[in-house]
Amino acid sequence: MLSIKDLSFSYNEEPVLKDVNISFEVNHIHGIVGLNGSGKTTFFNVLAGFISPDNGTILLNNAEVLKKDIAYIDAESFFYPKLTASEFLSVFPKTNSNFNETELAHIFNLPLDEFIENYSTGMKKKLLIMSQLKQDKQLFIFDEPFNGLDIESNKSLQYIIELLNKKGKTIFIASHIIEPLFGLCHQIHHLKNKHFAKSYLPNEYELLNNEVFGEFDEQLKNTLSQSL
Amino acid sequence: MTQLLKIRYFQLKRDLGFLFFVIVALVSCISFLVFNHQKQIGLYAAGIVVYLFYNFHKNRADIAFISKHFEKAKSQILIEYQLFLLPISILCLFTNYWYCFFVLHIFVLAIPFFNIKSKYTFKFSFITRFFKDDYIFISGVRRNLISLIILFLLALVLSPLKLFPLVALFLFNNVIFSFYEANESVQMLQASQHTPKKLMASLLNSGVKKMVIVNFPILLINSIFNPDLWMFNMYFFAYNVLILASVIALKYESYQYKTSSSNHQIKLIVMILGLFIPYLFPLAIIFYVQSRAGAIKNLSHYLDVVN
């Protein structure tokens, strides 16, 4: 169990997360949804340890989470432009013995001898995902993984996430594109008003759609009809 | 038209405050002393200054942003460089090298228009074999291979002479220091599986080894031909190691996982000045010690503190 107790984080004295109390099943796929600015990325940054919370604890099976056990796949990463993809991958230790660089590069359609400066945003994202799959991590955090990926890569990534989960990994995904989450996640958690307002099981996903996005849709329609 | 200057004003106010005026005064004094030097080193000093401005321009990461979002971007950059050049150039008007004032301003004026970009990028796979997983050096050497070769050959050819090889070597080392300006992604940082202290030590160790390989033969030849300079050559090497250590420390002190370039130019300029003015040496040491402590603290957000 990944237990989060009394977690709070403020940025410039403005609370972003407040009194977050939640437990996540390990070996499950967890979706995190919420509108822009709801604190999804901040939550992930705290979870990954990049920023220290003002209060609260995060414990994985009653122990502190080690950074080396976390794979963080964020929306944008810096790449040295004058490295080839293969040189980039060589930096990461191969602790996942099943990892086959050539096969995966073929599936993702990545030319490994090419300089990264010639890669598109989607290709860079796939390369970053490969670098994390090369290592045997316990916790995978995907921040907006489906953005910028073509349909084939999107499907491949969904299979990869399922496969990782079958191997016992715990996975967190935040995504604006909510449809893939319905097919993947064991639970989806709604981040609202600086804490997790509610968690939904697969049979409640329709309810989630109505509750989270229905309210937003109505507000948006009203605002737009008055503004345009 | 003044957006860039406003940004610089806020940066200087935040990073240096009153110290800025002290540094400007110091720079002007040093500049006067250098241009007024009996051994006629004014032209070489002007060359170094132009090179440093060029190097800064070539490696700055905000050019695309400025060009896209600022009106009359090139003019703003021109004004910025001319203003920052003034503390160095103004007092040389009162020396024998008064004409260097115009030389400096004209050459620095040309820098934003001087944009050589090779159409072809060569992989030079021997670089990968030589540096193994050292991505900072693989990427840096590939970007600056021509400059590095020219500067090294220049230093080697001039190595029996006084002063000149050290200028070339200093510029060579300066290119190496620029490798550390980019922030790697947090994933690459974590790939080392080091603790913050170990990472700092390993980066310094690796950088020093490379500096020894390049600097030592030249300094040795120079000391053989100029035995009176061996002490200064030792100081030169030790100070360059100190700058390297500080560059690494400064980078990780301000490292943020979503910021691609580190912002430590001003402190670095003070450090580099210490090479020419021994009085600044203690300040350089203080900067290093401070930055190293800050770097270890900051890295603990990204790396496990215990293995």
What's the pLDDT tens digit per position in A30-89? 999 988 888 999 999 999 999 999 999 999 988 988 999 999 998 778 899 889 999 999
DSSP state, residue A61: T
Q: Is the pLDDT of residue B95 over 60?
A: yes
Give the nearest partner residue to A91 out of B133, B257, B302, using CB atoms: B133
B135 and A79 within 8 Å at the Cβ level: the answer is no
Is A166 a member of any domain?
yes
- Give how far Cα A95 sits from Cα of A92, A131, A169, B93, B297, Å: 9, 11, 14, 63, 28
Q: Is the pLDDT of residue B125 over 80?
A: no
pLDDT of residue B4: 86
φ, ψ (nearest 5 deg) of residue A150: -75, 175
Q: Which of B117, B134, B168 is the last residue of a domain?
A: B117
Is A58 a member of any domain?
yes
CB B185 within 8 A of CB A77: yes
Q: For B113-127, what is the mean pLDDT?
A: 68
Same domain as B73, residue B161:
no
Contacts of B182 in chain A (CB under 8 A): 78, 80
Q: How many domains does chain A have?
A: 1
Burial bucket for residue B152 (CB in 10 Å: 0-12, 13-18, 19+): middle
* Binding-face residues of A in 20-59 toward B, CB within 8 A: 49-52
Torsion of CA B185, B189, B191, B195, to 10 degrees: -160
CB B225 within 8 A of CB B160: yes
Identify the residue with better confidence: A204 or B264: A204
Q: Is the pLDDT of residue B14 over 60?
A: yes
Which residues are CB-contacts of A181 (< 8 A; sequence separation ≥ 6)?
A31, A33, A173, A175, A188
Give the nearest partner residue to A93 out of B143, B185, B191, using CB atoms: B191
pLDDT of residue B121: 66
Helices then strands (H, E): number in chain A? 8, 10
Could you tell me the pLDDT band of residue B295, with boundaries at 50, 70 and 90? very high
Is A177 a member of any domain?
yes
Is A59 a member of any domain?
yes
Could you tell me the pLDDT band of residue B117, with boundaries at 50, 70 and 90? low
A80 and B139 within 8 Å at the Cβ level: the answer is yes
φ, ψ (nearest 5 deg) of residue B117: -125, 120
For A128, nearest residue in chain B (alpha carbons): B187
Nearest-angstrom CA–CA distance, A109 and A127:
10
pLDDT of residue B48: 80
Contacts of A115 in chain B (CB under 8 A): 121, 123
pLDDT tens, residue by residue, B239-273:
999 999 999 999 999 898 877 666 666 667 767 77
The residue written with tokens 């993702």 in the block is A108
Is A21 a member of any domain?
yes
Same domain as B152, residue B276:
yes
State the alpha helices, DSSP H only, in chain B. 3-15, 19-35, 42-59, 63-69, 73-89, 100-110, 125-131, 135-158, 164-178, 186-191, 196-225, 230-253, 265-276, 281-299
Residue of A50, A51, A70, A80 to mutate for B, most B C-beta atoms under 10 A: A80
pLDDT of residue A43: 94
Domain hosting residue B161, numbered range:
118-307
The residue written with tokens 């943020």 in the block is B256
How large a percentage of chain B has pLDDT more than 70?
93
Q: Is the pLDDT of residue B235 over 80?
A: yes
pLDDT of residue B160: 92
pLDDT of residue B40: 65
Q: Where are the beta strands (DSSP E) in chain A?
A: 2-11, 14-24, 29-33, 55-60, 63-64, 70-73, 139-143, 170-174, 187-192, 195-200
pLDDT of residue B66: 87
Give the nearest partner residue to B191 out of A52, A84, A92, using CB atoms: A92
φ, ψ (nearest 5 deg) of residue B75: -65, -40
Could you tell me the pLDDT band of residue B191, with boundaries at 50, 70 and 90? very high
Is A192 a member of any domain?
yes
* CA angle at B174 for the pair B101 and A86, rounded to the nearest 5°: 140
Q: Is the pLDDT of residue B138 over 60?
A: yes
Burial bucket for residue B170 (CB in 10 Å: 0-12, 13-18, 19+): buried
Q: Is the pLDDT of residue B26 over 90?
A: no
Distance from CA of A125 to the nearest CA of B (A): 12
Considering only CA atoms, which of A190, A169, A193 is closest in space to residue A181?
Answer: A190
Q: For B99-120, what is the mean pLDDT?
A: 79
Same domain as B167, residue B47:
no
Contacts of A92 in chain B (CB under 8 A): 187-188, 191
pLDDT of residue A92: 94
Identify the residue with better confidence: A179 or B223: B223
Supply the angle between the helices A151-166 and A121-133 in degrees, to the nearest 10. Answer: 20
Nearest-angstrom CA–CA distance, A124 and A76:
9
Nearest-angstrom CA–CA distance, B125 and B138:
10
Identify the residue with better confidence: B121 or B18: B18
* CA angle at B206 for the pair B205 and B211, rounded to the nearest 5°: 95
Contacts of A80 in chain B (CB under 8 A): 135, 138-139, 182, 184
Considering only CA atoms, which of B174, B181, B294, B284 is closest in space to residue B239?
Answer: B284
A67 and B128 within 8 Å at the Cβ level: the answer is no
Give the nearest partner residue to B121 out of A49, A115, A128, using CB atoms: A115
Same domain as B220, residue B124:
yes
Q: How many domains does chain B have?
A: 2
Q: Is the pLDDT of residue A140 over 90?
A: yes
Kindly state the helix (H) or strand (E) to which residue A156 belongs, with its residue range: helix A151-166
Number of Cβ within 10 Å of residue B238's Cβ equals 10
The residue written with tokens 């496990």 in the block is B304
Same domain as B67, residue B210:
no
Same domain as B102, residue B202:
no
Q: Does A12 touch chain B (CB under 8 A)?
A: no
Q: Which of B88, B117, B146 is the last residue of a domain?
A: B117
- Is pTM beyond 0.90? Reply is no
pLDDT tens, residue by residue, A86-100:
999 999 999 999 899
Q: Which of B117, B134, B165 is the last residue of a domain?
A: B117
- β partners of residue A188: A31, A200
Q: What is the CATH number of the domain that holds A221?
A: 3.40.50.300
pLDDT of residue A58: 93
Q: Choose the weakest-confidence range: A15-19, B104-108, B128-132, B301-305.
A: B128-132
What does the mean pLDDT of chain B come to?
86
Nearest-angstrom CA–CA distance, B251 and B94:
38
Contacts of B303 in chain A (CB under 8 A): 67
Q: For B101-112, what is the mean pLDDT?
A: 89
Q: Coil, strand, or helix at residue A73?
A: strand
pLDDT of residue B39: 64
Same domain as B300, residue B164:
yes
A52 and B182 within 8 Å at the Cβ level: the answer is no
pLDDT tens, residue by residue, B36-74:
876 667 777 888 888 788 878 877 778 888 888 888 888
Q: Is the pLDDT of residue A211 over 60?
A: yes
